[in-house]
Every structure is written in structure tokens, then in C-alpha cells.
Amino acid sequence: MNEILDEIYDDILAGNISGVKANVQAALDAGLAPGAILNEGMIAAMSEVGQLYESGDIYVAEMLISARSLQAGLAILKPHLRETNVKATGRVVIGTVRGDLHDIGKNLVAMMLEGAGFEIEDLGTDVSPQRFVAAVQASHPDVVALSVLLTTTMPSMLTTIQALQAAGLRDQVKVIVGGAPVNEEYALEVGADGYAADASQAVTLAKTLLAL
């Protein structure tokens, strides 16, 4: 791998935001292909971060720091990816369901998915079923990701999935759910396609559902 790409990889693992930004720009200035910078430097690094988290070698705080450094690099790289028509891994609409204002877990999932090459449309928090439906109609995503933290707002996951069904959209997208009170059994109960216990698992789940 190119030395600059190695440095981007290491900077993301270390959560070095200034280093990531400088080296992404340096890689572009050196004429490296935006797709190579994304895949070999950035996505590879976040994949390693996910594996380190799964093995217990790092914790959520460290994963979040790495994800933020990735975001800083992506901000520089995205215009160049668009110019060269680099295709995203897939498109995800994500949001915290109606009645729930918590976003830390949702934000981390969004960042990890983006780090895996997915294009993200983040609807934010307290998202009504109708807004999810509108986003699916407008954006035609591959995956809809529903997040929740409060047990009292868990029923909003079901009403959102029912709204997608009523709009004739349910068969067009994979629905994944997650959050502290959610488990595999509840995911099956509400008719989701899968459940992820954390951000790293969400990436693996999305790729598995899309057979990537």
C-alpha cells in the first residue's frame, strides 16, 4: 500500500483528525485515485477499528474518536469521489424513532456505516413514520436503520415498519433496528430484517443483508 495511505490508515486508528485531513489532502495532491484513498486508507482502517472493538481491544469512546477522524477526512474526499463517480457500497436512511431524542448511538452507527462506504441520509431524532416513508420514496435507499434508547418509544419501530408496509415500500428496503432496549427477539416481533447490538455489528449486518 502507498505510504500516504498507510499514514491515513494509522491516523484513523489513532483518531488523529489533523493527521487524517493533512494526509487525505496530500494523497489527492499526489494524484492518488479518490477510490483508492477511500477503500485502501479509510474503509480498511474503519474495518480494523470494528474488529478491534468486537475483540474487546478498544471501547466505544475510542471507536467514536476514530469515526470522527474518518468524518474529517471524508469531508475533504467526498467532492472528489463525486467527480470520479465512485459508487457507494449502498445507501442507508437512518434515524432515531418518534418520541426519542437520543442520538449518540445513532450517530456512531451512521459514522461506522459511512466508514464502510455507505452513503448516509441521517434524518436525526424524533423521526415520525411518515418522514421515514418520505425519505424512502425520495431516496430509494437499500437499508432503513431505526434507532431507539427508551423502552417507551420502542413501539415507534413497529409503527414505522407498518407505515413502510402500508406505503408499499417494505419489500424495497432492508430494515435494521438497534438500541439499548432492543434485542433479536424484538426485531423479529416488529418484522425487521435484522438487529445489531452495536455500530460495528450494524455494518456487518447491512453488508450481509445486501450480500456484499
**Where exactly are the structural domains of the chain?**
3-83, 90-209
Nearest CA to 203 out of 40, 67, 26, 2 is that of: 67
Mean pLDDT of the chain: 94
- Give the dihedral of Cα atoms 106, 89, 67, 44; nearest 10 deg: 150
pLDDT exceeds cutoff 90 at 36: yes
- What phi, psi does 93 have (nearest 5°)? -100, 125
pLDDT per residue as tens digits for the range 42-80: 999 999 999 999 899 999 899 999 999 999 999 999 899
Q: Span 90-209: which CATH code?
A: 3.40.50.280
pLDDT per residue as tens digits for the range 174-209: 999 999 999 999 999 999 999 999 999 999 999 999
Q: DSSP secondary-structure letter at 21? A: H
C-alpha 188: how far from chain center: 22
- For domain 3-83, the CATH superfamily is Methionine synthase domain (1.10.1240.10)
pLDDT exceeds cutoff 90 at 99: yes
Whether the model clears a pTM of 0.85, i.e. scores above it, the answer is yes
**Residue 148 DSSP SS3:** coil
